[in-house]
Amino acid sequence: MNDITLEERTRNLQGLGSSRKRVEDVRFTQGKGNYIDDIKIDGMLFGDFVRSPYAHARVTGVDTEAALKVPGVLAVLTADDLKPLNLHWMPTLAGDTQMVLADGKVLFQGQEVAFVVAADRYAAADGVEAVEVEYEELPVVTDPFKALSPDAPVLREDIKDRTEGAHGPVRHHNHIFTWEQGDKDATEKVLAEADVMAEEMVYYHRTHPCPLETCGCVASMDKVNGKLTLYGTFQAPHAIRTVVSLISGIAEHNIRVISPDIGGGFGNKVGAYSGYVCSVVASIVTGKPVKWVEDRMDNLMSTAFARDYWMQGKIAATKDGKITGLWCHTTADHGGFDACADPTKFPAGFMNICTGSYDIPVAYLSVDGVYTNKAPGGVAYRCSFRVTEAAYFIERMIEVLAIRLDMDAAELRRINFIGKDQFPYQSALGWEYDSGDYHAAWEKALDAVDYTGLRKEQAQRLEDFKAGKTRKLLGIGLAHFTEIVGAGPVKNCDILGLGMFDSCEIRIHPTGSAIARLGTISQGQGHATTFAQIIASEIGIPADDITLEEGDTDTAPYGLGTYGSRSTPVAGAATAMASRKIMAKAQMIAAYLLEVHDNDVEFEVDRFVVKGAPERFKTMKEIAFAAYNQAIPGLEPGLEAVSYYDPPNMTYPFGAYICAMEIDVDTGEHEIRQFYALDDCGTRINPMIIDGQVHGGATEGYAIAMGQEIAYDEMGNHMTATLMDFFLPTAWETPVYVTDHTVTPSPHHPIGAKGVGESPNVGSVPAFSNAVHDAFRPFGLVQSHMPHDHWRIWKIADDLGLHQ
């Protein structure tokens, strides 16, 4: 058994650090994935929505008579049908309630008015066309500042007289909450007395996660045994089961929720949508399974947008650039209902990470949530609860301050970074950063792109431009971000009262292979590959011998799901902890088999060896068999364990991103010449998958920064509801990325991993945006809002007088 070396044995496990190929890909590449729309049950019906063409209107009548005569249509549900069941409204994740179907009025274009149930999707679409709805138009407000004016139309008549909301006092009929963090008086004093103070409005526009697969579900109520099976594109299947039980009254043990393969989530599939409720009701009413799958327009108009934060910032510094204070007031546009997906105590998510990577002694943040006539949502689009907004805000404010100080923005960051020795670091807005070495990452990044050389080239380009030799400018976009992920400690993070722990259950089979089940659900992250790698390293069973399952609430342990980069920090930790429970028992079995004391054996890659006598050992395969075959005194048979892991803190991945961008002043077109992404996500489980996550997240960031938006006109018409108008980059536009890393393990995570999925979206948006701003800095540009599409860049140049 000792014929191969320790290194070979380690390599054979394909554990931590191995760029193991993904086990999921065998079926995905052959068209054998099983996504929601692939699910077919005998007799299944199809549901589709009648949606409002108006952004704000009274619904004075819904006539379903003609629709019911359409061949194939079986039922049409309206709010009146849901009322007796008390399902015409549903709770949101943010402490608000939301109409399932229009109850007397509509608050955004695309709102669900009626649900047509038919034999197939064509008949359902025909039925939708035949439903007659009468509307009486009401004044529309799509601007959150106008929504707070005294004479603004009342949007939420259901709660117009309240003085107390889910998050404290309410001061206006369209005001949802005010959330304050930090020391207001101390911050304002610092601002008043500062050598230098820079002030700017930073807008992070409304956009949408837009996974390639839209949201959908199949509800199947078995009236004989009283059990409901709900398949769906759920990023949090267990939480959905609890929510369905609470709002429907069906006992939780009679509900089985299954998330099959999910075609991308990015936050879009966290919330609860009208389609789920209506499908369940329709299945109960018709006694048949009912499928509902959005089309792309439904998806972009009605399910979970992201961002839409107006962030007014003030930043104070000494003459030589040491930041002394940060102030931020955010106006948050939540649309017609507050359906944000944030932990309960954080109505603006983790926006209070907005001091970023910098040692800022005093800070103050306030956020006003506002209703407008737009779609509800406010989800974290590849983001941990508003950290993308926070990172964009601080990375813009740093650039604005650098302009005010007439200083190089790389140097300004360098002198303000939290020092390596300051960790664990208490931020002015209440977080304890676990670990980091920002200076090392920053210097590595600047060297890698030859920052000095780039600046020289830029200066030459500027001269050439001024001399009329070129019409292209060069922008250098810098960003250093600090993420806050892995929500989170149960003591301060819950969703609808459910603590944000996560879980893993491992069973070792007699022949030494294993199955593990987790409370999370992969949407492309490759959990079946990477979580098996954690187990492989922990217990010495090859990753190829470990099956991984998620997403079936009847078999998987309870967990809060996958979003906010929480799978590795929380469920990954649970995986390591469950493995360690297995190992504690395995050690006793090994000692028994080797006839020595428990403490006289030690673990070595894939076996327990007797200390000082390495020729005496038992492999994990032998130990697994013994667990099922031997009567060991004092030990139960079997070898399995479960861990519910409540993390002691968040993790704080960070990174340094640099973008060099060519900008054509006359056309507004851009070309990304170079994009360098350094990520520090702590211990690296699978470098191949990390690189893939960075490529994908940076591309989503590229889209957001350079063209992607959810836009409305003043009438509340949705202007970007197809992929013709909503920018998703193709292979042609997408830049090439150079990835790099440093490794600063998390001190509190069992394997030191921090999570990486969202970092590239958090870091790349400011890098791209700062490159645009940097190109025009010599001409006086201080702030210009995203997205930086060709027209908007052309407009910057035009406004700066560069087209004469």
Other C-beta atoms closer than 10 Å to the C-beta of 344 total 18
Which residue's CB is nearer to other proteins, number 21 or number 509?
A: 21
692 Cβ contact list (under 8 Å, min separation 6): none
User: Does residue 737 belong to the site contacting other proteins (CB under 8 A)?
Assistant: yes
Which of 188, 295, 544, 799 binds other proteins (CB under 8 A)? It is 295
Pick the piece of the chain touching other proteins (CB under 8 A) from 18-26, 556-564, 635-643, 788-796. 18-26
In one letter, which amino acid is 678? Answer: L
Query: 3-class DSSP state for residue 575?
Result: helix
Place of tokens 């669900």: 112
Helix (H), strand (E) at residue 179: strand 175-182
The residues in 648-707 that bind other proteins, with binding defined as CB under 8 A, are 688-689, 691-693, 695-700
* Contact yes or no for 259/269 (Cβ under 8 A): no
Which of 4, 11, 32, 638 binds other proteins (CB under 8 A)? It is 32
Pick the piece of the chain touching other proteins (CB under 8 A) from 86-94, 292-300, 495-503, 643-651. 292-300
Which of 728, 781, 800, 802 binds other proteins (CB under 8 A)? It is 728
Which residue's CB is nearer to other proteins, number 577 or number 677?
A: 677
User: Does residue 296 belong to the site contacting other proteins (CB under 8 A)?
Assistant: yes
Annotated catalytic residues are 235, 382-383, 758
In one letter, which amino acid is 23? Answer: V
Smallest gap from Cβ 381 to other proteins, in A, equals 11
Which residue's CB is nearer to other proteins, number 174 or number 235?
A: 235
Which residue's CB is nearer to other proteins, number 122 or number 628?
A: 122
Residues 270, 276, 282, CA angle at the centre, nearest 5°? 175
Supply 11's token pair: 């390599």
User: Does residue 18 belong to the site contacting other proteins (CB under 8 A)?
Assistant: no
Backbone phi, psi, residue 335, to 5°: 80, -160
Residues 716, 721, 725, CA angle at the centre, nearest 5°? 110
Pick the piece of the chain touching other proteins (CB under 8 A) from 60-68, 138-146, 293-301, 611-619. 293-301
Interhelix angle 687-706/759-776, nearest 10 degrees: 40
Which of 17, 153, 264, 499 binds other proteins (CB under 8 A)? It is 264
Smallest gap from Cβ 40 to other proteins, in A, equals 8
731 Cβ contact list (under 8 Å, min separation 6): none
Supply 191's token pair: 């601002």
In one letter, which amino acid is 328? Answer: C
Query: 3-class DSSP state for residue 706?
Result: helix
User: Does residue 486 belong to the site contacting other proteins (CB under 8 A)?
Assistant: no
The residues in 105-134 that bind other proteins, with binding defined as CB under 8 A, are 120-122
The residues in 213-232 that bind other proteins, with binding defined as CB under 8 A, are 213-214
Pick the piece of the chain touching other proteins (CB under 8 A) from 178-186, 447-455, 524-532, 565-573. 524-532
User: Does residue 22 belong to the site contacting other proteins (CB under 8 A)?
Assistant: yes
What's the rounded Cα separation, in Å, for the pair 84 and 347?
31
Supply 622's token pair: 């032998």
Smallest gap from Cβ 723 to other proteins, in A, equals 4
In one letter, which amino acid is 305? Answer: F
With 0-12 / 13-18 / 19 or more C-beta atoms within 10 angstroms meaning exposed / middle / buried, residue 295 is: middle
421 Cβ contact list (under 8 Å, min separation 6): none
Smallest gap from Cβ 293 to other proteins, in A, equals 8
Which of 224, 467, 631, 736 binds other proteins (CB under 8 A)? It is 736
N- to C-terminal Cα separation, the chain: 80
What's the rounded Cα separation, in Å, for the pair 563 and 520?
9
**Count of residues of this chain found to bind other proteins when the rule CB under 8 A is applied:** 58
Which residue's CB is nearer to other proteins, number 382 or number 480?
A: 382
Binding mask 33-72 for other proteins (x = CB under 8 A): x-x-xx-x------------------------------x-
What's the rounded Cα separation, in Å, for the pair 317 and 411?
14
Pick the piece of the chain touching other proteins (CB under 8 A) from 9-17, 282-290, 517-525, 579-587. 517-525
Binding site for other proteins (CB under 8 A): 21-22, 24-33, 35, 37-38, 40, 71, 120-122, 210-214, 261-264, 266, 293, 295-296, 523-526, 688-689, 691-693, 695-700, 722-724, 728, 730-732, 734, 736-737
